[in-house]
Structure 1
Amino acid sequence: MTVSYSDRSVLVAGAGVAGAAVAEVLLRLGARVTVTDRALSARTEALSALGAKVTVGLAALPAGIDQVVTSPGWRPDNPLLRDAAARGVEVIGEIELAWRLRSSPVSGRPAAPWLAITGTNGKTTTVEMLAGMLRAAGLRAVAAGNVGRPLVGAVVGLEPYDVLAVELSSFQLYWTSTVAPAAATILNLAPDHLDWHGSLAAYAAAKAKIWAPGTFAVRNADDAWSVRLSGDLPGAAYTLGEPADGQLGVVDGTLVDRAFGHGAFATVAGLPVTGPHNVANALAAAALAFAYDVPPSAVSAGLAGFEAGPHRNTRIGAVDGITYVDDSKATNPHAAAASLVAYDRVVWVAGGLLKGADVDDLVAEVAGRLAGVVLMGADRAVIARALARHAPDVPVVEVGRTDDGAMADVVAVASRLARPGDVVLLAPAAASMDMFSDYAARGAAFVQAVRALGEA
């Protein structure tokens, strides 16, 4: 698709990381850009200096707008976006814009293929593993998208890439219509972001948009949704069990490929991250890499060199024989379950914004591992009721504070519930925005409180 934005009038909804990148690119392409956000900020000031018109709090579409590019956090029922749709003005997201621009004259080079990843959990780990494999093969590659680097910048930026490892959220996928990755996977799917999508079916439908006609589908054979949503697309699968023909899997602690003919390529013990969920992530990344003809030596090297990001099941240290682990990235019940089952006896730190997710199955699954629970955040009462139903004998303490000092209280209570040999695990099963700016800030507060405890 050849795209020209010269003299087109485009409204960018949201001036966060993605919105600012979109506005900057569109201004370079000669578009007349209007930016709206909830409030003025350093980013809106910078965009104004570049030539964008900034208007705070638009609820109706200004006259003369040809297209709206929305930030992923804006819901479809936002009054501005509803008004645009009612007027027949196209609304797309940053990902769709990046796809349309990837082969336009502005990039000045052939379109780089996308190897794309979505799922409820494991996206960032998997996309970073994949990017490492691609680079180990000598390819110019980068992880972009929901991982923190806007795709539109990677597509039209100065750095030429051979291939892009792309992480996509359900919010981003919702606003796509023509995106067609060369290969893609849905790692897993469990209830999440139901407050945004409205239902599990709508959430799944957004995720399924990662697979377009012609996309090579990498399925998680152990996840019913991943298999179901892939339909009859050609592809491969992976499993934590012994792989059948056409699958990658695990045999006697060895990661084995029986889909592309490469055989053994890594060991579970040799992975730099632990837990069955990370083995599954490694298999998914390897399948995508093999689909792009990356040699097994590069896949092995990419896995060996992988370093997990912070707040992902990260051991902070031990105080008085009690181990403290930060998995603030576990922002939904599915992710929390994967973390909790890795430990035998846990004091669980949980709570925040559940976004409509149910926690009963999670609590029932891990009840036998719980030595105690410390709850915080807006939806702590929902988790407390689930614990009363499924783990009535487990000590539960609620911390009602929501100020900056709340995490110190949480860690102090958890330390009193734990005994030597236990793990105090921050795996909130919920989003953080009720108390913190994001999951990273929540994890940093936990780390700081644990270190202060060790110094006391």
Structure 2
Amino acid sequence: MGDRIVTLDWIRTANRLSDWPSAQVVVAGLGVSGFAAADGLMSLGARIIVLDESTAHAEKAELLEKLDVTVRLGPGSTAELPPGTDLVVTSPGWRPSAPLLRQAAAADVPVWGETELAWRMMQPDRVIPWLGVTGTNGKTTTTQMVEAMLIADGRKAAAVGNIGRPIIEAILDDVDYDVFAVELSSFQLHWMNNVNLHSAVVLNVHPDHLEWYEGAPDAMQRYTAEKAKIYEGVTHSCVYNVDEPVTERLVEEAEVVEGARAIGFTLGTPAISMLGVVDDLLVDRAFVEQRRDSALELAKVSDVQPAAPHNVANALAAAALARSYGVHHSSVAKGLQRLQLGGHRIQRIAEADGVVWVDDSKATNPHAANSAMNAFESFVWIAGGQAKGTTFDQLIERHRSKLRAAVVIGVDRHLIAKTLARHAPDVPVRVLDTTDTGVMDEVVALAGQFARPGDTVLLSPGCASLDMFDSYSARGDAFAAAVQKYLG
């Protein structure tokens, strides 16, 4: 037992130079982050056991087994914590209530996420600063903007984390990076405890992923607390959204390194220590010496594409992070001008007979759908999927006058249909009960019948996609293909 206590003590403060060959580490899940975690642990020399209930990752398992990693796949493989486990590294979607993680907690075995492991792998002598982005919506776009600004400034930078590329994968690159733009989800933040970001932003906080808290009455408070963790230990700048007071409160309550600043961003005229908009210009009144009486032009609003209000806010948040790192003001505009964003976010895919067809499949919660709806005067709404414990009352109340009709699909289709009946009883609604991915042809045909010249057909589901599709991008691709087929 004495050896066990010694092992646990060093695991709690472990870094790249610790005695990893003496540690047995369990990796929970063999998805993208799980495979990266196993790869990182191999580089440290740890003894590794990978567990996953799914058999979908057989090729990854075979590769790891050739490298002397123990892999157990299939039902029941995660039911028991292997004897002698010193550390568990969990994939971000795993809930604390999972039997494996409950057993780890009961045995006082630390549980990290891939994010925590990545941070420890850089300590104490290879630290790459992190500029962190979280929020209910806009994370991926803002992270891409930060990366583009850094690269335009001549920095060796990479966008990593929830954006799709594990942080560990970049750490193991041969590239000597200057800085990372890190997108962090609430799941990743839950399992992160000892990370000190250079600068961080919470873009917004709205109901999402509440099902993760399994019916807890304080689910929203817990979700908000996860987001707040990004500010803990920040060394330079805590960036907040002036239009979302909750984000400023999270900054005020955070324990940061002495000297770290609170930096606001707003779509209005900025006060001191803020970035904002003046005469169609993005301006900086935070990172300039004469901020008491002047502001520095960073970019034009037209440099932001699309220049919808929510996206201008994303650009201001990204600029605040980049400027906190020392990026030259001219690099903000250059980065925005060169940026090529991924698809499925208010993406115009066709126009015919006066009707515009828009793919906003990335809108996986009501707040994201609201941003898209703000951009159009009248639309046929395609909605539905996994609601994740959220509600649609405020969304439908706000936009019911714009709704031409709605077509609803997915596992939570009746939740949305009932909400439409309560708040927009005059709006025609069609509910499709099939879960076949081929339903998108019927969805598009119905939407086309409802649409009139001047309308937009808007796929902005307000829900996750995994009940029917492999991803939100697969859902958007199916929509685009169905639109092309419908339009001939």
Q: Common fold, TM-score beyond 0.5?
A: yes
1:321, CA displacement in angstroms?
2.2
Q: Which residue of 2 aligns with 1:191?
A: 207
Aligned residue for 2:239?
A: 218
Q: Distance in 1 between matches of 2:172 and 2:386?
A: 36
Q: Could you tell me which residue of structure 2 aligns to residue 241 of structure 1? A: 268
TM-score by length of 2: 0.90
Q: Of 343, 356, 364, which residue of structure 1 is paired with 2:376?
A: 343
1:327 to 351, 356, 360: 360
**Equivalent of 1:155 in 156, 159, 171:** 171
Moved more, 226-235 or 116-125: 226-235
Give the aligned partner of residue 375 of structure 1: 408
User: Structure 1 stretch 244-253 or stretch 89-98: which is displaced more?
Assistant: 244-253
Task: Kindly state the Cα deviation for residue 275 of structure 1 after the two structures are TM-superposed.
Answer: 1.1
Deviation string 1:350-376 (CA, Å, 9 cap, x unpaired) is: 000001001101111111111111100
Which of the residues 20, 28, 43 maps onto 2:60?
43
The answer on whether the counterparts of 2:346 and 2:358 sit within 8 Å (CA) in structure 1 is yes
Do the aligned partners of 1:236 and 1:287 also contact (CA within 8 Å) in 2? yes
Shift of 1:395: 0.9
1:55-84: per-residue Cα shift (whole Å, max 9, x none)?
Answer: 132212110111000000111110111011
The correspondence of residues 267-416 of structure 1 with structure 2, limited to 5 A, is: 267-416=300-449
Per the TM alignment, residue 274 of structure 1 is displaced from its structure 2 partner at its CA by 2.7
Deviations 1:396-434 (A, max 9, x none): 111112113111111110000101111001000000011
Are residue 2 (structure 1) and residue 18 (structure 2) matched?
Answer: no
Please give the alpha-carbon distance, in whole angstroms, between the structure 2 residues aligned to 1:47 and 1:412: 47
Q: Which residue of 2 aligns with 1:68?
A: 88
Aligned to 2:5: none
Identify the match of residue 106 of structure 2 among 67, 86, 92.
86
Could you tell me whether the CA contact under 8 Å between 1:352 and 1:380 is conserved in 2? Answer: yes
Q: Is residue 2:136 matched to residue 1:120?
A: yes
Supply the AA of the counterpart residue of 1:143: A
| 1:320, distance to aligned residue in structure 2 (A) | 2.5
The answer to whether the 8 Å contact 2:303/2:333 transfers is no
TM-score (norm 1): 0.97
Q: 2:190 — aligned with what?
A: 174
Matched, 1:11 2:32: no
Which residue in 1 is equivalent to 2:248? 227
The CA deviation string for residues 215-247 of structure 1, in whole angstroms up to 9 with x for no partner, is: 420010101221111116622100111111111
User: Does 2:51 align with 1:30?
Assistant: no
What code does the residue aligned with 2:141 have?
T
1:111 offset after TM fit, Å? 1.0
Out of 301-310 and 168-177, give the one that drifted further: 301-310
Q: What SS is found at the alignment partner of 1:347?
A: strand
Q: Please, which of 224, 234, 237 is the counterpart of residue 204 of structure 1?
A: 224
**Cα displacement (A) at 1:339:** 0.6
Which deviations, in whole Å up to 9, do the C-alpha atoms of 1:122-158 show, x marking residues without a partner? Answer: 0000000000000111110000000011001212322
Deviations 1:10-55 (A, max 9, x none): 0000000010011012122211110001123222222222221111
Q: Look up the SS of the partner of 1:210 in the other structure.
A: helix
Equivalent pair of 2:380/2:457 in contact (CA under 8 Å): yes
| Letter matched to residue 320 of structure 1 | D
Between 1:21-30 and 1:60-69, the stretch displaced more is: 21-30
**Residues 273, 308 of structure 1: 8 Å contact kept:** no
Question: C-alpha separation between the residues in 2 aligned to 1:293 and 1:208?
Answer: 24
Equivalent residue letter for 1:169: S
Structure 2: distance between partners of 1:124 and 1:308: 9
Q: Which amino acid aligns with 1:226?
A: T
How far off its partner does 1:214 sit? 3.9
The match for 1:164 is: 180
Q: Is the 8 A contact 1:101 1:156 kept in 2?
A: no
- Taking the aligned partners of 2:440 and 2:65, their CA distance within structure 1 comes to 38
Distance in 1 of aligned mates of 2:173 and 2:111:
23
Give yes or no for contact 1:131–1:141 (8 Å, CA) kept in 2: yes
Equivalent of residue 484 in structure 2, options 432, 451, 456: 451
Tell me how far apart the structure 2 counterparts of residues 430 and 292 of structure 1 sit (CA, whole Å). Answer: 35
Distance 2:62 2:206 in 1: 39
Question: How far did 1:103 drift?
Answer: 2.6
1:267 shift after superposition = 1.6
Q: Does 1:259 align with 2:286?
A: yes
CA shift at 1:7, angstroms? 3.3
Preserved CA contact (<8 Å) 2:195 2:233: no
331-340 or 402-411, larger mean C-alpha shift: 402-411
- Ranges in structure 2 where 5+ consecutive residues have no aligned partner: 1-13, 289-294
Q: Secondary structure at the match of 1:349?
A: strand
Cα shift at 1:258: 1.1
Q: Distance in 2 between matches of 1:359 and 1:102?
A: 43
Alpha-carbon separation, structure 2, partners of 1:140 and 1:404: 41
Query: Retained in 2: the 8 A contact 1:348–1:427?
Result: yes
Rounded Cα–Cα distance in structure 1 between residues aligned with 2:234 and 2:403: 46
Contact 1:314 1:325 in 2 (8 A): yes
- Once the two structures are superposed, residues 291-340 of structure 1 have per-residue CA deviations (whole angstroms, 9 ceiling, x without a partner) of 11101111110011111211111100113221100010000000000011
1:231 maps to a residue whose letter is: E
Q: Shift of the alpha carbon at 1:266?
A: 1.2
Deviation at 1:207, TM superposition (A): 0.7
CA contact (8 A) 2:265 2:317 kept: yes
